[in-house]
Each structure stands twice: as structure tokens, then as C-alpha cells.
């Protein structure tokens, strides 16, 4: 049944009022989804610290009039939701995890897996062969790069698989209690853990090559390329002003370009 002329006029007036209520040039919110267990990269949404990548996105886009909404979601579901355009983006992501996504030229994080020991240890990771005789803590389901992954596959060391909550802190405690000789973890996670826990003081004992992760935008949304350009321009501003360094320091970290 079609609405009466009077009903059509009421509907039209309501549409005009709704449009008038929107500020001129208002941009649609950017919805970012990521797990809450990747602190300091992405943490619990609504918490005191939501993660430095989320803080970076807000610092980049808020001055442009774009609201950044952050929600926690399992990573596999986050990738699927971003790929289909249900969400705007996820962060951080390696390009090979989602090669069809839209990426800025500028990374949002520098990543490097390093080995950590107790402060009194003199052992150094140089290559796979140097792992012989070590009791090494690793995380179930992680990939650490070709050389370390091959060492795990060939059982070059006594690798101990770990899983569950607060893994970096738990690995550090096992190490300091003498139950491990070393463990391998992203250096950002370890720096953040040491900043948050006064009882954790570790020695870095050699690292795998550096890699970079990115603000990963939906290939299904037409605004993704414009957002990628705005991100690149915003990161340059944050670096020049020193704001990026201030964001990172809140997590016990530093701008990786210094």
C-alpha cells in the first residue's frame, strides 16, 4: 500500500531534518577491529590503554573530523569482516596475511622477534645452530620467520610450547625462575611487559630480521585508498610534531624511526 500524499510529505520532511542534523562535511566513522590480547599493539576496547596502533589511528584521523571506533574481535573474524566491507580496517596486519587488502605506504609498527634471557646469562642467538642445548619458550601457533620456524620443526633446541593468557609475562617468569634458558617474542611485547611489571628485567640475546605491519583497509570499501593516503600524511605529521614518540612512550616503547 502506497503512503498518502500527507504521509509522503511527513516522510520527506523527516528526511530533510535528518540530513540537516548531520554537520556539513561529516565523515563516516572508521570502524577498526582487532583482538584484545595483542597489547601493546591492540588491547581491550574502552580500556585505559587500547593499544598504540589504535592511539595512532585516533591521532591521525580525529583532526580530520573522522571518528575512529574500535571493537575487539577474533583475528580470523576481523580479517573476514574487513575483507567483506563490514568493518573499515584492522591493525596491525602483515601484508602477506591479507595481500588483497589496501595498505598505506607507511607501516604502523616495526616488528622483530628476539630471544631473551635472564640478565646474568651470556648466551647469544646467532643462528639455528646456536640454539643447541637451549630450553626455549615459544608460543603455540606463532610463526617466527623461516630460520626459527625450521629450528622448531627440526627440534634444534628443547622447545616448550606455551598458550593462554598473559603469555609474555608468564614466559618471563618461567625464565627468571630457571625453568627456561631463553624465550623468543616480539620486542615490542617484551618492552611493554617490562614497563608494566617491575619484577621483569630481561636481557635481549639476539634477534631475527626486522619486519613491518600495517593499518590494513578493506578492499571492498571505495574510501580505503583515500584513508591510506590520509594515514601516510598523518604519520608524517605525528613524527614531525613528536606526538608519535609520546604515544609510544605511554607503552614503554619508542618511535622506530629515530
Helix (H) or strand (E) holding 70: strand 68-72
Specify the pairing of strand 109-111 against strand 211-217: antiparallel
- Which grid coordinates belong to 200? 621483569
Same domain, 139 and 47: no
pLDDT per position as a tens digit, 106-144: 999 999 999 999 999 999 999 999 999 999 999 988 889
Three-state DSSP at 66 gives: coil
Q: Examine the domain organization and report whether 133 and 220 are in the same domain.
A: no
Query: Which of 207, 222, 240 is the endpoint of a domain?
Result: 207
Task: Indicate whether 56 and 139 sit together in one domain.
Answer: no
10 Å Cβ neighbour count for 44?
A: 15
What integer pLDDT is reported at residue 1 of this predicted model? 39
Residue 257 lies in a domain: no
Distant-in-sequence, close-in-space partners of 7: CB < 8 Å, separation ≥ 6: none
Question: pLDDT by residue (tens digit) across 82-97?
Answer: 999 999 999 999 999 9
Q: Give pLDDT tens digits for 150-192.
A: 999 999 999 999 988 889 999 999 999 999 999 999 999 999 9
Question: Domain total for the chain?
Answer: 2
CA pair distance 252, 112, nearest whole angstrom: 16
Largest CA distance in the chain: 85
Percentage of residues in the chain with pLDDT exceeding 90? 83
CATH code of the domain covering residue 193: 3.40.190.10
Phi and psi (nearest 5°) for 90?
-130, 165
Residues of the domain holding 184: 113-207
Question: 94 in a domain, yes or no?
Answer: yes
In this structure, the answer to whether residues 18 and 106 fall within a common structural domain is yes
- Taking the model in full, what pTM does it have? 0.82
Q: What are phi and psi of 181, to 5 degrees?
A: -90, -30
Distance CA 174, CA 100 (A): 40
Q: Judge if 50 and 144 occupy the same domain.
A: no
Residues 101 and 125 in one domain: no
Amino acid at each position: 500500500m502506497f503512503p498518502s500524499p500527507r504521509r509522503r510529505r511527513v516522510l520527506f520532511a523527516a528526511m530533510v531534518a535528518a540530513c540537516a542534523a548531520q554537520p556539513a562535511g561529516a565523515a563516516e566513522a572508521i570502524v577498526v577491529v582487532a583482538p584484545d590480547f595483542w597489547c601493546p599493539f591492540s588491547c581491550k576496547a574502552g580500556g585505559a590503554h587500547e593499544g598504540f596502533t589504535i592511539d595512532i589511528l585516533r591521532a591521525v584521523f580525529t583532526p580530520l573530523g573522522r571518528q575512529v571506533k574500535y571493537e575487539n574481535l577474533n583475528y580470523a573474524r576481523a580479517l573476514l569482516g574487513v575483507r567483506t566491507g563490514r568493518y573499515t580496517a584492522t591493525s596491525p596486519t602483515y601484508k602477506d596475511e591479507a595481500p588483497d587488502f589496501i595498505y598505506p605506504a607507511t607501516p604502523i609498527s616495526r616488528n622483530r622477534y628476539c630471544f631473551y634471557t635472564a640478565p646474568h646469562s651470556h648466551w647469544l642467538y646467532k643462528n639455528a645452530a646456536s640454539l643447541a642445548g637451549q630450553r626455549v619458550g615459544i608460543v603455540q601457533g606463532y610463526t617466527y620467520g623461516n630460520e626459527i620456524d625450521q629450528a622448531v620443526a627440526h627440534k634444534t633446541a628443547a622447545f616448550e610450547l606455551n598458550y593462554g593468557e598473559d603469555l609474555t609475562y608468564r614466559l618471563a617468569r618461567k625464565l627468571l625462575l630457571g625453568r627456561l634458558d631463553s624465550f623468543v617474542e616480539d620486542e615490542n611485547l617484551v618492552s611493554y611487559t617490562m614497563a608494566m611489571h617491575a619484577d621483569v628485567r630481561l636481557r635481549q640475546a639476539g634477534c631475527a630480521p626486522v619486519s613491518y605491519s600495517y593499518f590494513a583497509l578493506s578492499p571492498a570499501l571505495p574510501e580505503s585508498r583515500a584513508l591510506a593516503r590520509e594515514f601516510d600524511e598523518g604519520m608524517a605529521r605525528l613524527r614531525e610534531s613528536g606526538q608519535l614518540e609520546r604515544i609510544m612512550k605511554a607503552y614503554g616503547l619508542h618511535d622506530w624511526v629515530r
